[in-house]
Amino acid sequence: MRSFLVLWILVACSCGSVSGGAAKTVDAKPPQLVVSPMTLTIPEGTTKTFDVLLDSEPTTPMTVNIVSTNATAFPISTTSITFTGGSGANWSIPTQVMVSPPIDKNTVSETAMINVSDAASTTSAEISATVQDTTTLKQLGWPDQFTDGLGITGNTLVAFQVTIDADTTLDAFGVINRIAVQDSLYRMALYRDGGGRPGALFASMAAPVALAVGLNVFDLQPDVAIDTVNTPAGRTFWLAVETSMGINTRSSPTITTSRCLMAVANITDHWPVGFDPTKCATGAAINIWMDTYHQ
C-alpha cells in the first residue's frame, strides 16, 4: 500500500513538472510581413505595384507604415495599411501599393528605398526602386549667341515661328540681352499658328519681370503640356518676346525664319491676338528660346 502511494506521488509530480515547464516556454511569434517584389524598376511616367500581407493572423489590428526615401521621385499610393484578424480578416489578402514616378525635366534615373514596417518594429522589409528615365530635353528657338547686334524698341512684340515635332511639356522661356537697358521689363509667350502668323495664345508669363544682362530664363509654374495636334499646321507655333524699354540682343547673320512684329501700348496689357499679316515677313532669328521635355 505504501509502495503504491509513493509511485502515485512520483507520477503526479512528474506530470506537473512537464505541464508547468510547457506553460513557461510558450512564446507566440508576432506576424511577419510578406512583401513582393523586393525590387522595382519603373519607367518614368508609369506605375508599378508591390504587394503587402502577413504570414499569420494578428490577435489585434496591426498597422504597417510605408515610407519612400525619395518621395518626390517615387510617390506611393498609401503610407499605411491596417491588417486585421477574426471576422472580415484581411491579413492574408495582398494589399497593392502603387509607385508612380512622374515625368520630370531631367534625365536622371533616380533611386529610392521603400521601407515597410509595423508600428511596433517587430517586422520590416525594404524595396529597392529605380526609375528608368528616358526624358528628351529640347531647346526650341535660338539659345546660341549670335554675332550681329540688334536692338528692339520698347513696347514691340517680336514673334518667331518654331516647329514642335512631338507632344511635350513647356518648362521655361529664355532670352539673351547683350547690353543693359535701364528699367526694362520683359515677358514671353507661345502662340499656336493662325494661318502663317500667331493665332491663339497658348502659354505665357503671367507678368513681366526685370530684364538682366546676359541669360534671362523664366521657369513657368506650373509647366504647360503642349498638344501638337496630328497635322503639320498643328506642329507650328510662334515664340514671342516683348519688352517695355527695349532690348539689346543679337541676330543671326545666317538663320532666317518667319517673323511678325506688333506694337503694343503697354507691357502689362493683355497679350495681343489678331496679328496683321502685313507685319509678318522673313527675318533674322534672334536669341529667344523655350525649354521643353517629354518621354
pLDDT at 6 over 80: no
- The residues, ordered by sequence, that sit 6+ positions from 1 with a Cβ below 8 Å of its Cβ are none
Say what the pLDDT of residue 149 is. 85
- Which pTM value belongs to this model? 0.74
- Top pLDDT among 88 and 114 is at 114
pLDDT at 2 over 60: no
Task: Provide the Cα torsion 274, 239, 286, 260; round to 10°.
Answer: -10
Say what the pLDDT of residue 5 is. 43
Identify the H or E element spanning 116: strand 111-118
Mean residue pLDDT across the chain? 89
Pick from 231, 228, 225: nearest CA to 164: 228
Say what the pLDDT of residue 144 is. 85
| Rg of the chain over all Cα atoms, to the nearest angstrom | 34
pLDDT, tens only, 117-173: 998 889 999 999 999 998 999 999 999 889 888 889 999 999 999 999 889 999 999
Query: Cα–Cα distances in Å, from 125 out to 37, 58, 71, 83?
Result: 11, 18, 17, 16
- The residues, ordered by sequence, that sit 6+ positions from 195 with a Cβ below 8 Å of its Cβ are none
pLDDT at 21 over 60: no
- 3-state secondary structure at position 192: strand
DSSP 3-state percent helix, strand, coil across the chain (nearest 5): 10, 50, 40
Other C-beta atoms lying within 10 Å of the C-beta of residue 6: 9
- The residues, ordered by sequence, that sit 6+ positions from 21 with a Cβ below 8 Å of its Cβ are none
Q: Does domain 136-294 have CATH number 3.40.50.300?
A: no
Q: Does domain 33-132 have CATH number 2.60.40.10?
A: yes
Say what the pLDDT of residue 1 is. 43
pLDDT, tens only, 244-280: 999 999 999 999 999 999 999 999 999 999 898 999 9
Domain boundaries, the chain: 33-132, 136-294
pLDDT at 102 over 70: yes
Say what the pLDDT of residue 98 is. 98
Specify the pairing of strand 168-177 against strand 288-294: antiparallel
Say what the pLDDT of residue 118 is. 94
